[in-house]
Structure 1
Amino acid sequence: MLISRAGRRPLTIVLAVVLVATQLAAWPRSVDAHDGVRLRTTAPIVVTAPKKVTVGGRIAFVGDVVVKRKKPRPVAVAERSGGRWRVVGRATSKANGTFTVRVAAGTATGSRVFRAQAAAAHGLAAVRTGAVRVTVTKKPVSTGTEIPGTDEYDAAEALPASYDAVGPKGDWSYLFVDQHGDEQSVRWDPCPVIRWRYNAAGQEYAARADVTRAIAKISGVTGLKFKYVGSTGFRYVGQADPDFPHNADLFVSWASEKQYGQLAGGVVGTGGGLATSAGAGALDVDWRMDVGYLTLDSGAPQIARGFDGSGWGQIMMHEVLHALGLGHAQTSQQLMAPVADDDNYQFGAGDITGMHRIGLRSTDSC
């Protein structure tokens, strides 16, 4: 819950923690099946790949293979073509068995079939996964331009040289909890560009520019890249099993209290997302975010626009960070605190620590 103390109408923001926790309890093996294929984790070799990629991109195969005495093991990705399997990519696993193989998507559209495999080594038998299908699609037609803070991070605005972040550096949390209430680590794959779309229906004002600025500020701190790829008719309103479109990764929309019950009682926004079990731990987290959303209250009056104090800019940054995997902070100095006022409309020290954990890390091989 987020309440404004800045002399304006009290504001309340609630994210979809209850929704996410319920889904984790109901589907402990996977929270989202839209973007990934996950094989049985008990197999001697497993692999995850995106279901869809665009031409000209790269397909990231992330997996885990059994190893002996922590000895790295050569692995390969093979493609079925003309009735035969042909190796198209190779890598060596880490000592714990995790591996990543990247294969060019090519320029032709259509369905491609792959598998991961490892030859006999160190007394271990040869192993291979089942078939993994990846569809190569045309690049989406962009109806907008790349936002500031994508190719060149907007760090100067997000964290100017004179900026003094306040509050405890350790005051941050992950969004997800399991069925026992224990925190679960989560983040997006930091290498691909996160595509986002905007639904202006019912917007309280012409707000897309402020959403763009909020995302750019966060890009400047996290190192994650974003691109606006056009409008959408989709809005997240609390569906038990939402069918997110595949033409974007992050969806921003507006809804009324009647359309989305979570916006009742002064709530002015929700944010969250769905994830797939990271399994092999290639991202060094328990879950990999696959899709995110924020839904803003179309009936919330007297909220300031922009980022000069407590208002819509603050709300948007708060909810975008939920969609990227951050939960609430405990102290009032943090943007991610459940209560918003003029003391926390900018990033606190804990917010920055959390963004570095869910963002691009120096150990990521992009």
Structure 2
Amino acid sequence: MVVASALVLLGLTPPPAPVAHTPPRISRHEFRDAAYGSSATAAPMAAFGALGSSRDYSLLFPAQTGAPYARWNPCKPIYWRVNPRWAPEGALADLQGAFSRLHAATGLAFVYRGTTTLVPGTAAYDAADTDGYIIVAWAPDGSTALIPRAPRGRYGLMGMAGGYATTGYASNGKPYATIDKAYVLLSTSFPSLAGGFGWGNRYGWLGTRGMLDMHELAHAVGLDHARGTTQIMYPVAQRMPANWGAGDLTGLRLVGRAAGCIPAFTG
């Protein structure tokens, strides 16, 4: 769903002072973040349990004074489509597994709506109406602005996730921020990346496709990076089973069903 990151953190505007007959403001903000590949000989990490600190998480749109953090409305289904044109063999099964793991951690309902020809980061994607959807695609490096070709001798982006969040005020007078649409774009430049959700390669590219999918999809529902290497949201791939860490699970609960419904905006 991205040790430097190409992240863009956008703060939320505090609510305006009450003014009679002034309609509530609604504004839209873009977000994106990425995951990096790592290539090494790796010592394995522990295999069981939710590891690390439960405080090791961050949000792409953190709450500020008078303004909430952004999340999908958990009382509506989140639709998703996939562009399988450049998908590696077995990648679609890994993607479905990642959505299942995200559902289990958040309670959010993800509904598959078939394939698409859209590729995030292109003019066709920008012109399309994808509100309410997460669009997932694979693409060669350099084919979109989201995943450029890596400079020689440097690790490139394995994936990039982003989307839009809208802030406004509901009929109950409270401010809310909703994620309206999102995407996940995955690089095709890591053909030796192991499939599934297990330990992955001991040598070469670390992590697995399942881990990468979980990371980018968690960005798409509002999580930012973690500090510890035991978290799926750590920005560089690690050799470990693809299990949510303790911090991942805390953050996912905050953006999940437990946070409650988001009423419709007024104005």
Same fold (TM over 0.5): yes
CA 257–325 in structure 1, closer or farther in 2 if over 3 Å, else same: same
1:194 matched to 2:194? The reply is no
Q: Which among 296, 299, 320 is matched to residue 186 of structure 2?
A: 296
Q: Which residue of the partner structure matches residue 203 of structure 2?
A: none
Can you list the C-alpha shifts for 1:258-293, whole angstroms capped at 9, x where unaligned? 212442321110012101114349798752100010
1:356 matched to 2:241? The reply is no
Counterpart of 1:294, as a letter, is V
Using the TM superposition, give the Cα deviation of residue 45 of structure 1 relative to its aligned residue in structure 2, in angstroms: 7.6
- Whole-angstrom CA distance in 2 between matches of 1:348 and 1:332: 9
Counterpart of 1:170, as a letter, is R
Using the TM superposition, give the Cα deviation of residue 47 of structure 1 relative to its aligned residue in structure 2, in angstroms: 7.3
- SS of residue in 1 equivalent to 2:169: coil
- How many residues align? The count is 224
Map residues 1-366 of structure 1 onto 2, 5 A cutoff.
17-18=7-8, 21=10, 44=21, 164-176=49-61, 185-237=69-121, 242-246=126-130, 249-263=133-147, 264-265=149-150, 266-280=156-170, 287-309=177-199, 310-343=207-240, 345-361=242-258, 363-364=260-261
Using the TM superposition, give the Cα deviation of residue 204 of structure 1 relative to its aligned residue in structure 2, in angstroms: 2.7
- Whole-angstrom CA distance in 2 between matches of 1:346 and 1:233: 31
- Whole-angstrom CA distance in 2 between matches of 1:172 and 1:279: 27
Counterpart of 1:204, as a letter, is P
- Bigger radius of gyration among the two: 1
CA 285–171 in structure 1, closer or farther in 2 if over 3 Å, else same: farther
Counterpart of 1:355, as a letter, is L
Q: Is this contact kept in 2: 1:332–1:344, CA < 8 A?
A: no
Structure 1 unaligned blocks of 5 or more: 4-11, 30-40, 50-161
- SS of residue in 2 equivalent to 1:242: helix
TM-score (norm 2): 0.71
- Whole-angstrom CA distance in 1 between matches of 2:75 and 2:25: 15
CA 268–365 in structure 1, closer or farther in 2 if over 3 Å, else same: closer
Counterpart of 1:271, as a letter, is A
Using the TM superposition, give the Cα deviation of residue 364 of structure 1 relative to its aligned residue in structure 2, in angstroms: 4.2
- Whole-angstrom CA distance in 1 between matches of 2:197 and 2:217: 14
CA 42–330 in structure 1, closer or farther in 2 if over 3 Å, else same: farther
Instruction: Please state which structure has a larger fraction of its residues in strand.
Output: 1
- Whole-angstrom CA distance in 2 between matches of 1:48 and 1:233: 34
CA 279–273 in structure 1, closer or farther in 2 if over 3 Å, else same: same
Greater RCO, 1 or 2 (C-alpha within 8 Å, sep 6+): 2
